[in-house]
């Protein structure tokens, strides 16, 4: 194991690194920079104690960097209590939701699959991600999408990691549609994804932001459509207020120029196997 030697950079999950440090397999006493990516997730209630323990293995003059698309109160508390003279760089005004057009459709639960089929027939989709909860609905929805003659895979947390890896590999290499849980709201960077559909509307603004951020990656254009039931209407309003954005009712026709690259905007047929 290379950890018996000096290394420049150590990547790992918080639990695994804590385990290695606790067993003296790795020495963090000279680790001067500690980076927390997706800090809002790492500092969620179940993980905060682990991060607190990890800091005990680091030198006092360490530099701690927190990166996150959202900064909820738990991240702010950690920053104020555990980081000396913190400095905050906020790019959210420039980056949040930039390039992603957002719409919603009022539907009843029983109408969702029909609505999804209508959206597929109207949109020019390079690749799409369809978010659905809970996990026991994901496989069923993927089958219904396939029955509509659209190429589709699915992924969720209860699948074997090897199976999820294979699905992600195929999706990265061109499978058109992926039905998944919030497991894939982070760390997915596929620039060909230009449409995200919230088949089940998210419960909070953090999840919403991470979901629709799967489209419009790295300056590309994107489109996010939310299927909103009567029970979702308060969440819709709250998310708009918290993110300072407006999610508009979907129009009869959507200009392809707002979510399709100019070189492909002349194509019109939806992708089928």
List, by residue range, all CATH 3.40.50.300 domains of the chain: 2-89, 94-264
pTM of the model: 0.69
CB atoms within 10 A of CB 38: 17
The CATH class, in words, for 94-264 is: alpha beta
- In this predicted structure, the answer to whether residue 100 has a pLDDT above a threshold of 80 is yes
DSSP characters for 191-248? TTEEEEEESS--SSHHHHHHHHTTSSGGG--EEEEEEE-GGGHHHHHHHHHHHT---E
- In this predicted structure, the answer to whether residue 94 has a pLDDT above a threshold of 50 is no
CATH superfamily of 2-89: P-loop containing nucleotide triphosphate hydrolases (3.40.50.300)
Residue 98's pLDDT band, with cuts at 50, 70 and 90, is: low
Tell me how far the alpha carbon of residue 179 is from its chain's centroid.
13
- Summarised one tens digit per residue, pLDDT across range 49-89 is 888 899 999 999 999 999 876 777 788 888 888 888 888 88
d(C-alpha 54, C-alpha 28), whole Å: 9
């Amino acid at each position: 194991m290379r950890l018996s030697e000096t290394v420049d950079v150590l990547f790992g999950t918080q639990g695994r690194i804590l385990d290695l440090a606790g067993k003296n397999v790795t020495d963090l006493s000279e680790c001067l920079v500690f980076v927390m990516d997706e800090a809002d997730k790492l500092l969620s209630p179940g993980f905060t104690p682990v991060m607190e323990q990890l800091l005990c293995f680091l030198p006092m003059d360490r530099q701690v960097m927190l990166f996150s698309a959202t900064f909820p109160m738990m991240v702010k508390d950690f920053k104020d209590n555990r980081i000396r003279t913190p400095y905050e760089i906020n790019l959210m005004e420039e980056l949040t939701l930039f390039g992603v057009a957002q719409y919603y459709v009022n539907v009843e639960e029983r109408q969702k699959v029909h609505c999804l089929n209508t959206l597929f027939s109207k949109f020019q989709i390079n690749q799409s991600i369809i978010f659905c909860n809970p996990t026991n609905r994901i496989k069923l929805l993927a089958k219904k999408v396939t029955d509509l003659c659209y190429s589709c895979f699915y992924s969720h947390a209860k699948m074997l990691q090897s199976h999820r890896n294979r699905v992600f590999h195929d999706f990265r290499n061109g499978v058109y549609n992926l039905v998944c849980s919030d497991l894939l709201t982070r760390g997915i960077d596929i620039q060909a994804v230009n449409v995200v559909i919230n088949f089940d509307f998210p419960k909070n603004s953090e999840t919403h932001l991470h979901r629709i951020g799967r489209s419009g990656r790295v300056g590309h254009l994107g489109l996010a459509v939310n299927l909103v039931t009567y029970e979702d209407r308060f969440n819709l309003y709250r998310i708009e207020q918290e993110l300072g954005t407006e999610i508009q009712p979907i129009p009869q026709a959507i200009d392809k120029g707002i979510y399709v690259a100019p070189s492909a905007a002349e194509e019109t047929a939806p992708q089928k196997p």
